[in-house]
Amino acid sequence: MYTVAVTQDFIANHYLIGGDWGSENNPHAHHYVLEVQIESDTLNEHGYLVDIVEIEAALNKVVDYYRDSMLNDKPEFAGLNPSIEHFSRILSEQLLAGITPPGTGALTVKLWENDTCWAAYRHSFG
Predicted confidence (pLDDT) at residue 102 exceeds the cutoff of 90: no
Q: Residue 112's pLDDT is what?
A: 98
13, 11, 2, 14: which is closest to 81 by C-alpha? 14
Q: In sequence order, what are the residues at sequence separation of 6 or more whose Cβ sits closer than 8 angstroms to the Cβ of residue 85?
A: 119, 121
Q: Residue 40's pLDDT is what?
A: 96
Domains and CATH numbers, the chain: 2-48+62-125 (3.30.479.10)
Spatial distance between the Cα atoms of 121 and 73, rounded to a whole number of angstroms: 22
Indicate whether this model's pTM tops 0.85.
yes
The mean of the pLDDT values for the chain is 96
100 confidence band (pLDDT: 50, 70, 90)? confident
User: Could you tell me if 67 and 91 are in contact, meaning their C-beta atoms sit under 8 angstroms apart?
Assistant: no
**Is residue 7 helix, strand or coil?**
strand
Spatial distance between the Cα atoms of 26 and 62, rounded to a whole number of angstroms: 25
